[in-house]
Amino acid sequence: MNKIDLHLHTNYSDGSDSLCELLIQAEKAQLEVISITDHDNCLAYGELKQEKVRKLFSGKIIKGVELEAAFDGIIVELLGFGVDTDKINANAEDIKKKKKHAYYTQMLRLYEICKRLGVKMADDVLNTYVDGEFYYPASHIHREITKHKENRKFIPDDESWNNGVYFGVKHITDATSPFYVDMGGLFPTLRNIYDTIREAGGLVFIAHIFNYGDKAHGILDHLTTNFKIDGIECYYSKFTTEQTKYLLELCKAKGYLVSGGSDYHGECKPDIKVGTGKGDLMIPMENIRWITDKMLI
């Protein structure tokens, strides 16, 4: 049974579960070490200061965050572990405002792409968008697309048709997809988010590198060449055995630390479970010896 999950999301960012619901699941899964890595904020750690909340999970909790940057036209993410949560949260509101504008712009660009492709949509689709209804406004366009069966020819894979989050990962951020939206200039740079983690006293880890498809190796090379990276997320719900082996060998060669997690989002990614990912996620305990008491809450 897996005992570690260092990549979990709550409804403080784009997960569906409350912090309490997530902790209860982690306890039922008999996890020993977890990290809540919400996007752009550490608000969950404020709630964790409440004794009744912290008691819901008997294991260790390492302070964490996941930050997004634009690089090579797509969104790339870094994980920060052992961060000063107050320092992260001091910038959270400003980051939230900037991301809100960026993701709204993404929705507008996706709408224009759909029009060019001949995707069937209601004429007033933009007018029916409700601010805050979705974490990613582009999900509003996805919902409209999937109302019309004739659009199935544009999105043949079931995963992307049925789930707006997966549509974003497999199409909106994939440069080979006709639905690709270039996000350059709308998000912080990799240097920005790297410095944010460092200034908060955290360790910098590369997250789910193979999620970036054909660009993965180029991004990995750029990060390891131009930044003082501390570690890599080698164990991940969607990685193949070969991909994990490749990353472990890279970490050994370069002296990087090793991490891993499910990237649990609750109902937003229903096939990903706390601790086990798609069912076979297994992170050896020996890989987290780098965690110190100062990193824990």
pLDDT in tens, 199-258: 999 999 999 999 998 899 999 999 999 999 999 999 999 999 999 999 999 999 999 999
Q: What is the pLDDT of residues 30-77, one digit of tens each?
A: 999 999 999 999 999 999 999 999 999 999 999 999 999 999 888 899
More confident residue, 160 or 99: 160
Residue 214's pLDDT is 86
Residue 185's pLDDT is 82
Residues 39 and 67: beta-carbon distance below 8 Å: yes
- Tokens describing residue 104: 């709204």
Residue 228's pLDDT is 98
Please name each of the domains of the chain with its CATH number: 4-88+190-295 (3.20.20.140), 96-172 (no CATH)
Q: Position of tokens 């909790």? A: 61
- 3-class DSSP assignment, residue 84: coil
Is the Cα torsion angle 222, 262, 34, 275 positive or negative in sign?
A: negative
Residue 206's pLDDT is 98
CA angle 138, 140, 144 (to 5 degrees): 120
Please state, for a pLDDT cut of 90, what percent of the chain lies above it: 84
Q: What is the pLDDT of residues 169-203, one digit of tens each?
A: 889 988 889 999 988 788 899 999 999 999 999 99
Which among 84, 61, 65 is positioned nearest to 201, based on CA atoms? 84
* pTM of the complete model beyond 0.85: yes
- 3-class DSSP assignment, residue 69: strand
- H helices of the chain, in order, are 19-28, 43-47, 51-54, 85-90, 92-117, 138-145, 158-162, 164-167, 190-199, 216-226, 241-254
Q: Is the pLDDT of residue 1 over 80?
A: no
